[in-house]
Copies of this chain bind each other. A is one copy, B any other.
């Protein structure tokens, strides 16, 4: 599998940990910091430590696992640790973990001393196929996802399939939602391939294919002025459902579980607005519905979800914007959806 070239940095596949060691040794860095959470500190850090001879100038910064850590308090905590450890401008931050680690670590690094270098070593399927590529960093504030952040590219990304061995099945499914999205918005052939694959254990080849799709899109449109918005398919409604679940559920939905719901709703909207065929909708519902548990969304929630959408940074001037499918493998951006249309799509999901 080829190394991919992204916006000024390489994305490595295959046996990537020796590649990481190489990068560390060849770079002109004074100090190294590894950001982990409780789980990646336990499951993933040892794989790196096994590769590096001596780690005299390595310091570990560990945060709690989960989306609840992706906020300004933990970010200040990371900044303070960097200060206390004496991180200078020649330091490198290695983000070892899922999307929470890469988003938070990327933001902390891009603002520490007006920006130090960082690399991502994504350890969840979701962060491998999505969060680690494209240069978006971010934290949540006031229950709004990624409302604060920067566009800053990492210096390299190391995608190591071996990390997925310890990843819980539910987290695999979370990342899978983005892979399905990649097929739906950009590559019908890939979608068909996915349909007949072992989706509980996506192969390294499928991961590579997904990254290649995402990478192509972000290279074309780094700052999301146009085509990159296609990656938001399923995310207008999905993000709102995710936020809602985070605020209300004891065991909240994963990102992918929420996006799966969003993709079903937005496929319905695609039938209503952008010409997706009914049998394509049924195929999508079949595949996604067979993979993800149903989630109850009562009619009284609709207004709450709508208000969350209004605060989403994708939306402007009080208008809700969706990226919708014209057919499987093709996406059209900037479709304004009315409150009624959005409610109809939520009702469709609940009727299944």
Interface string of A310-324 (1 = CB under 8 A from B): 010101110000000
* B residues less than 8 Å from A272 (CB atoms): none
**Contacts A79-B141, A80-B142, A141-B76 hold; do A88 and B148 have CB atoms under 8 A apart?**
no
Give per-residue flags for A108-148: 1 if the beta carbon is below 8 A from chain B beta carbons, else 0: 00111111000000000000000000001110011010111
Copies in the complex: 2
Expressed in whole angstroms, the Cα–Cα distance for A143 and B88 within the complex equals 16
> A83 near B: Cβ within 8 Å?
yes
A66 CB to nearest B CB, Å: 21
Q: For A80, give the chain B residue with the smallest CB separation.
A: B142
> Contacts A76-B72, A114-B136, A151-B115 known; A141 to B83 CB distance under 8 Å?
yes
Which A residues, 173 to 226, have Cβ-Cβ distances below 8 Å to chain B? none
Q: Which residues of B contact A86 (CB under 8 A)?
A: 311
State in angstroms the CA–CA spacing of A136 and B316 once bound together: 28
A299 within 8 A of B: no
Size category, A interface: 20 to 34
Q: Is A22 an interface residue (CB 8 A)?
A: no
Cross-chain contact of A111 among B88, B111, B113 (Cβ < 8 A): B111
Bitwise interface map of A from 72 to 115 toward B, beta carbon under 8 Å scored 1, else 0? 10001001100100101110000000000000000100111111
Once A30-B316, A76-B72, A311-B83 are accepted as A-B contacts, the answer to whether A114 and B138 lie under 8 Å apart by CB is: yes
Q: How far apart sit A315 and B90, CA to CA, in the bound complex (Å)?
A: 10
Interface centre among A76, A138, A315, by most chain B C-beta atoms within 10 angstroms, is: A76
Besides A80-B142, A83-B142, A114-B149, 12 more A-B contacts (Cβ < 8 Å) are A72-B76, A83-B147, A83-B311, A107-B111, A111-B149, A113-B148, A113-B149, A114-B136, A114-B146, A114-B150, A115-B151, A150-B150
Task: Show 5 residue pairs from A and B whose CB-CB distance is below 8 angstroms, ordered by the A residue.
Answer: A80-B142, A83-B141, A114-B138, A114-B149, A114-B150
